[in-house]
């Protein structure tokens, strides 16, 4: 298997798994874990939403969905109709697709994240509150990663909780 084929297999597996370790992938592909880390770095630099978090609790994370753009309104309506007519297993899959690819109601920008940091939160504390790694938050702030709909939703909820508590 060529390096390119292996990287495409990693992408396909990570779209499904969302998280795995470099050691696990290395044993699966019969390569060293350093080869997997190099593959993940190449994929990340090529624009795939995948990162390697080092250290305890770290691993290979798939940060994006399978589709890189939100559904259009006609697609949303078609999916909502299809959800009514399918089995429970298919219903769950379609509902997840719809939720993951529908743009958030509230628009969040990097300035909103900076604003949260200016309110006295450290970057690592804010990342922990949002349920993400500090590295991913850094990527968001630097513009290396785009803000997903899910993350915009989390930040919006977190921001409204802070406003309710008075700062």
Residue 127: name the closest of 142, 116, 111 by CA: 116
pLDDT value for 39: 94
The CATH topology of domain 110-165 is: 434 Repressor (Amino-terminal Domain) (1.10.260)
Could you report the per-residue pLDDT of 33-72, keeping only the tens digit for each?
Answer: 899 999 999 888 887 888 888 777 778 988 875 444 456 6
Q: How far is the C-alpha of 58 from the C-alpha of 75, rounded, in Å?
A: 36
3-class DSSP state for residue 52?
Answer: strand
Phi and psi based region of residue 97 (left: phi greater than 0; alpha: psi -120 to 50; beta: remaining): alpha
CA 19 – CA 5 distance, rounded (Å)? 20
| CATH classification code of 3-62 | 1.10.10.10
Q: Where are the domains of the chain?
A: 3-62, 110-165
Tell me the per-residue pLDDT of 61-115, one tens digit each, with 9 for 90 and over.
Answer: 888 754 444 566 677 777 788 888 888 777 777 777 666 665 545 456 656 676 7
């Amino acid at each position: 298997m060529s390096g390119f084929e292996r990287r495409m297999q990693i992408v396909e597996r990570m779209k499904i798994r969302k998280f795995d370790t470099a050691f696990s992938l290395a044993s699966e592909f019969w390569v060293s874990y350093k080869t997997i880390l190099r593959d993940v770095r190449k994929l990340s630099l090529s624009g795939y939403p995948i990162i390697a978090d080092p250290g305890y609790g770290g691993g290979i994370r798939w940060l994006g969905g399978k589709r890189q753009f939100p559904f259009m309104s006609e697609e949303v309506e078609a999916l909502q109709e299809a959800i009514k007519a399918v089995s429970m297993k298919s219903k769950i899959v379609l509902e997840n697709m719809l939720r993951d690819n529908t743009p958030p109601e509230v628009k969040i920008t990097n300035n909103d994240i900076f604003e949260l940091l200016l309110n006295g939160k450290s970057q690592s504390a804010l990342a922990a509150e949002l349920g993400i790694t500090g590295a991913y938050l850094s990527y968001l702030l630097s513009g290396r990663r785009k803000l997903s709909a899910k993350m915009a939703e989390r930040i919006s909820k977190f921001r409204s909780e802070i406003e309710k508590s008075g700062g």
